[in-house]
Chains A and B, each alone.
Chain A
């Protein structure tokens, strides 16, 4: 039953498929009201983890709970707390948008008036109300995904578990879904969000976990994770004529230099020192600096660092 403030708790969760361990004894907690990103490369175990949390598959060890309800022992109560958008799911294409929403509302036990009001509000919010009686088979991918978001939201859940909600969508649909996620989170809804889109995770998530080969390899706030890989701080510079890369790699404090088209990226722990050296170098060599910028590690850098093949 209800215990503490964690909306989702995952303890020692493990799933094996034959000899392959897809999820290997992972632990994490998502606090109530948090927007928690769950990142990882393809095949890392994200969707398997989500499937265990949403009660679709049974773990081989460990447990997951939603709002204090054990997913395996109190399955219906746990599922009742969460709205889910599975990665590979579809709406029923032979049903209309309205019929799909009514079905989901009935599966969550909503009364008639309540489900009609909510369906109307949600369809208006995602711009599908005018198409509510059209069979989903006539919808574009973006429209289908917007409908699926509505299906996940129909019960006004306290927890939303979204597996790749913007994958493969056009810019408008992605933006709309991101803005709905941000608005609902501001209203206090807890999110577990898996995504491949680092920019999306960076913009939306207050905390992220990175899973690789079935294990959690990093878990923290995005900015804290970026700080952890300080060696990835860099200065990007371009000159008005060619210069030798070896000149730049000889600067004090520079770990490495990478040429990218007409630009050089100099990796260093103290970018300020590198800038002084670059200015001195330009003066002495009589070359003009065309552009100069300090680059902090991005979430993508963090992701690559933690998921690179060893």
Chain B
């Protein structure tokens, strides 16, 4: 049963990629949006290239992995495809996993762009294994966070976009991307603990700059914990909304 539902998740992911991700505006937006945000904050400031690439990579993965997954279910509800999907023998967790897989692939693939950009500029990756593991785990974590944003009972995608941006932008500012955790006030460091982006940022700094605020095992454990929490919450809330 589990294997058959997993195959159906893959079918949902394939559908999502064809419909929502393989579109030029989505791909371009996935690259350009973090780039512009990054430039807006860092241009004119004397910051080492390793720090700049770390910031860009964190933001790219975060924004791409949470870009489309929040709006898939409300969008499908509004155009009438969701009812057909949930009439099929596929469970709600399997549909969510499909949406998450598509988002995960998109996030991971787009993350290659800032990494390649950094390598071209001479950035050296201190620990490729830590970097790869951090990107893979965080892409899952942020993708489930994206599906959690779509739990409010609405079929209006713009409402969901508003709600998700309301959460996403503050997270960027409290996660040590623009201001390293060490330079934050104590209350800032306390709030940062509750953001999954903090731990990805820390792992990327470790991979590229060789420094981290927390032990990397703690960073990984925190990301796994956030992933499980987002996954369970998304499944419970979405299942409560349906059968």
Residues of A within 8 A of B (CB): 51, 54-58, 71-72, 75-77, 79-80, 84, 86, 88-95, 99, 103-104, 106-109, 148, 151
Nearest CB of chain A from residue B23's CB, rounded to whole Å: 9
A160 to chain B, nearest CB (A): 12
B28 within 8 A of A: no
User: What residues of chain A lie closer than 8 Å to B5, measured between beta carbons?
Assistant: 76
Count of chain B residues near A, Cβ 8 A:
26
Contact of A58 with B243 in the complex, beta carbons under 8 Å: yes
B4 touches A57 (CB 8 A): no
Quick one: which of B10, B18, B19, B88 contacts A79, CB cutoff 8 A? B88
B83 at the interface (CB under 8 A from A): yes
Query: With an 8 A cutoff between CB atoms, is B222 at the interface?
Result: no
Q: B84 and A79: CB pair below 8 A?
A: no
| Contact for A107 among B1, B81, B89, CB less than 8 A | B89
Q: Give the Cβ gap from B238 to chain A, nearest Cβ, in Å.
A: 13
Q: Are B19 and A55 in contact (CB under 8 A)?
A: no
- Determine the distance from Cα of A270 to Cα of B24 in the docked complex, in whole angstroms: 73
For the complex with contacts A56-B87, A106-B11, A107-B8, 15 further pairs of A-B residues with Cβ separation under 8 Å are A55-B87, A55-B243, A56-B86, A56-B242, A57-B242, A58-B242, A71-B243, A76-B90, A76-B91, A77-B89, A79-B88, A88-B80, A89-B80, A89-B84, A103-B15
Chain B positions 203 through 243: 1 when the CB is less than 8 Å from some CB of chain A, otherwise 0: 00000000000000000000000000000000000000011
User: Could you show 11 A-B contacts with beta carbons less than 8 Å apart?
Assistant: A51-B83, A54-B87, A55-B86, A76-B5, A76-B90, A89-B83, A94-B19, A99-B18, A103-B14, A106-B8, A106-B11
Residues B83 and A56 in contact, CB atoms below 8 Å apart: yes
Residues of A within 8 A of B14 (CB): 103, 106
Residue B7 at the chain A interface, CB threshold 8 Å: yes
Q: A76-B91, A107-B90 are in contact. Are A86 and B84 (CB under 8 A)?
A: yes
Q: Which residues of B contact A80 (CB under 8 A)?
A: 89
Q: Please determine whether B8 and A57 come into contact, CB atoms closer than 8 angstroms.
A: no
Chain A residues whose CB sits within 8 angstroms of the CB of B242 once the complex forms:
56-58
Residues of B within 8 A of A104 (CB): 84, 88
Chain B nearest CB: distance from A103 CB in Å?
5
Q: Determine if B84 and A108 form an interchain contact, defined as CB atoms under 8 angstroms apart.
A: no
A80 to B19, CA, bound (A): 25
Known interface pairs A58-B243, A76-B91; A89-B8 also in contact (CB < 8 Å): no
| B43 part of interface (Cβ distance < 8 Å) | no
Chain A residues with CB under 8 Å of B79's CB are: 90, 93
